[in-house]
């Protein structure tokens, strides 16, 4: 492996690591040598097993990250277990689909809480530990909807716009302390998050027609970007939102 991408000896915390993109990126980082702290409110044992089979350490931390005390506890446990956190991927997220005219306050608040507020406070809590060591890589998972408004997902679009802006705001303050804060904006990916969307033949057809790569993304498609942004290779990349979308935004 090229030394710029080698994550041997690094500890990564990934939220939403039990399934989908979080599981895919966790395995990608493990493949590059990292040990993993796997956080989710669902079971992460399968991801942990896959990582251990690769010869890396993995610890499952069950948590609902909706509140600040839960965030502080999971970060404390992670640091207690592995000593420090070098890489944080804020991937846990939810989506609610309802036309804007009928959109409820609950669907607004739930989505904004996990997708935006939790991302900021995870960054702050882990950032404090990284700051002490003058080193750290934070990767926030945004979306195409950090750039465009989407259809029937108003709180999701607002929250992902916030993820892009949190990423830039923190990069502005923390780059001087040796931290790299960046984001990945995935395109249309095959996971639970898009299960309902993929049942809609009309939407699926129009989405398929716009993806230059000619297919939806798979969790493995984020591994290269995650390793890049987690490694020395990206030491002079700050506040960037990296599209991994099969070319969707180029259309
Ligand atoms: P997913 O399959 O639904 O996985 C997300 C994981 O995060 C789930 O295990 C979920 O648990 C967990 N989670 C949600 N809220 C949580 C909380 N409060 N505390 C702890 N864990 C929580 O979704 P995915 O597609 O892999 O999405 C991962 C990230 O990528 C999300 O931020 C999503 O917005 C983003 N993204 C996805 C796509 C796509 O096309 N799939 C595109 C762009 C961006 P529950 O199942 O219990 O909610």
pLDDT in tens, the chain (251 residues): 899 999 999 999 999 999 999 999 999 999 999 999 999 999 999 999 999 999 999 999 999 999 999 999 999 999 999 999 999 999 999 999 999 999 999 999 999 999 999 999 999 999 999 999 999 999 999 999 999 999 999 999 999 999 999 999 999 999 999 999 999 999 999 999 999 999 999 999 999 999 999 999 999 999 999 999 999 999 999 999 999 999 999 99
| 121, 147, 156, 174: the active-site residue | 156
H-state helical runs in the chain = 20-31, 45-53, 68-82, 105-112, 118-133, 154-174, 201-210, 223-230
Return the pLDDT at 105. Answer: 98
Give the domain range for residue 83.
Answer: 3-245
In a domain, 105, yes or no: yes
Tokens of 62: 């069950």
- Beta bridge mates, 243: 185
Return the pLDDT at 45. Answer: 97
Angle, alpha carbons 117-246-218 (nearest 5°): 70
Q: What is the CA radius of gyration of the chain?
A: 17
In a domain, 10, yes or no: yes
Task: Identify which of 65, 117, 193 to mutate to test ligand 1's pocket (most ligand atoms within 8 A of the CB).
Answer: 193
Question: Is any atom of ligand 1 closer than 6 Å to the C-beta of 246?
Answer: no
For the stretch 89-124, pLDDT in tens is 999 999 999 999 999 999 999 999 999 999 999 999
In a domain, 144, yes or no: yes
Return the pLDDT at 233. Answer: 98
In a domain, 250, yes or no: no
User: What crossing angle do the helices spanning 45-53 and 20-31 adopt, rounded to 10°?
Assistant: 20
Q: How far is CA 97 from the centre of its chain?
A: 20
In a domain, 191, yes or no: yes
Which residues fall within 8 angstroms of residue 80, CB to CB, at 6 or more apart?
none
Structural contact between residues 37 and 75, judged by C-beta atoms closer than 8 angstroms: no
Return the pLDDT at 5. Answer: 98
In a domain, 69, yes or no: yes
Question: Is any atom of ligand 1 closer than 6 Å to the C-beta of 189?
Answer: yes
The CA distance from 16 to 61, in Å, is: 10
In a domain, 208, yes or no: yes
Name which residue sits closest to atom 41 of ligand 1, judged by CA.
189
Domain containing residue 216: CATH number:
3.40.50.720
Annotation says 156 is catalytic: yes
Q: Choose among 171, 192, 188: nearest CA to 235.
A: 171
Return the pLDDT at 190. Answer: 97
Count how many domains the chain has.
1
In a domain, 251, yes or no: no
């Amino acid at each position: 492996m090229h030394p710029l991408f080698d994550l041997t000896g690094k500890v990564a915390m990934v939220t939403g690591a039990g399934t989908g993109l979080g599981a895919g990126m966790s395995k990608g980082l493990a493949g590059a040598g990292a040990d993993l702290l796997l956080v989710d409110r669902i079971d992460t044992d399968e991801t942990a097993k896959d990582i251990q089979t690769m010869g890396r350490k993995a610890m499952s931390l069950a948590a609902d990250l909706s509140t600040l005390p839960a965030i502080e506890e999971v970060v404390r446990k992670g640091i207690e277990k592995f000593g420090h956190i070098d890489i944080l991927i804020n991937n846990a997220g939810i989506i609610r689909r309802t036309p804007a005219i009928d959109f409820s306050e609950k669907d607004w608040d739930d989505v904004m809480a996990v997708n935006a507020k939790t991302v900021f406070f995870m960054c702050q809590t882990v950032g404090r530990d990284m700051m002490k060591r003058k080193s750290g890589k934070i990767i926030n998972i945004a979306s195409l909807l950090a750039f465009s408004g989407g259809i029937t997902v108003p709180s999701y679009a607002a929250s992902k716009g916030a993820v892009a802006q949190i990423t830039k705001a923190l990069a502005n303050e923390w780059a001087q302390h040796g931290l790299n804060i960046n984001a990945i904006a995935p395109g249309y990916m095959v996971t639970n998050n898009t299960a309902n969307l993929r049942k809609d033949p009309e939407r699926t057809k129009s989405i398929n027609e716009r993806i230059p790569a000619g297919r939806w993304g798979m969790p493995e498609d984020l591994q290269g970007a995650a390793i890049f942004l987690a490694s020395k290779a990206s030491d002079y990349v700050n506040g960037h939102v990296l599209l991994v979308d099969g070319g969707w935004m180029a259309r």
